Amino acid sequence: MSEQKLEGEDLFESIAQDLSTKGYSICSNAIPESVLKPLMQEAQSQLNCFNRAGIGRQSQHVIDDTIRSDKIRWISDDTEAGSAWLNWTGELKQYLNRRLFIGLNYFESHFAHYGVGNFYKKHRDAFVGQGNRVLSVVTYLNEGWLEEDGGQLVIYDDADKEIERVLPQSGTLVIFLSEEFPHEVLPAQRERFSITGWFRTGSRT
């Protein structure tokens, strides 16, 4: 975890280095306040428009309470908060494409809300040869999160050995290769907001 506060290109460079050396990156205080604060407000004020999250894509989409119990809302650039977030992730995408030649194209992201007791069991965001999610991006909108609040993101390596545990503290940014790292969200003991997104290659569908 990068402990000192990195901004702009220094942050992007540190993410690029982490991705090329270990395939994932975790940075605290990574999202600028001017992007984070409006997202926090929007997530809270739109909570009544969140929907139960499913698993699988398109025709395979099902809601399964035993795997995940959070609710989500997709982010668009129709609001100022959404467009500031999409601008910021757009800059990150451009930097990573130039630096790592990974051909990231489309970005999609949603808010997620975990009520007390909600979780997301161990899963991968993409499977080799299926879909085109390349990089997973997760950030959080919760101030003053404590260990006893639960809701940690646990990241495993390809052999299912635990490698990281992340508190969902506002501004912390987690980025990882979507196909390579199984991960889970432990049951939250307080209301938990996150944003999850994916950089993809290819087109929208």
Residues in 168-197 that interact with ligand OGA by CB under 6 A? 168, 183, 185, 194, 196
Which of Mn ion, ligand OGA, none binds 43 (CB below 5-8 Å, type-dependent)? none
Report the distance separating Cα 91 and Cα 113, nearest Å: 26
- How far CA 197 is from CA of 2, 40, 182, in Å, comes to 21, 16, 16
Pairing of strands 71-74, 24-27: unpaired
Binding mask 113-132 for Mn ion (x = CB under 5 A): ------------x-------
Which of Mn ion, ligand OGA, none binds 175 (CB below 5-8 Å, type-dependent)? none
Report the distance separating Cα 31 and Cα 27, nearest Å: 9
C-beta of 138: minimal distance to ligand OGA in Å? 5
Cβ–Cβ under 8 Å, residues 198 and 109: yes
125 binds ligand OGA (CB under 6 A): yes
Cβ–Cβ under 8 Å, residues 118 and 188: yes
Cβ–Cβ under 8 Å, residues 117 and 83: no
145 binds ligand OGA (CB under 6 A): no
Q: Please identify, using beta-carbon distances, which residue of 1 and 10 lies nearer to ligand OGA.
A: 1
Sole binder of ligand OGA in the list 112, 126, 135, 137 (CB under 6 A): 112
C-beta of 125: minimal distance to ligand OGA in Å? 5
Q: Which residues contact 96 (CB under 8 A, 6 or more apart)?
A: 12, 15, 16, 19, 102, 104, 135, 199
Contact residues toward Mn ion (CB under 5 A) are: 125
Footprint of ligand OGA on this chain (CB under 6 A)?
A: 112, 120, 125, 138, 153, 168, 183, 185, 194, 196
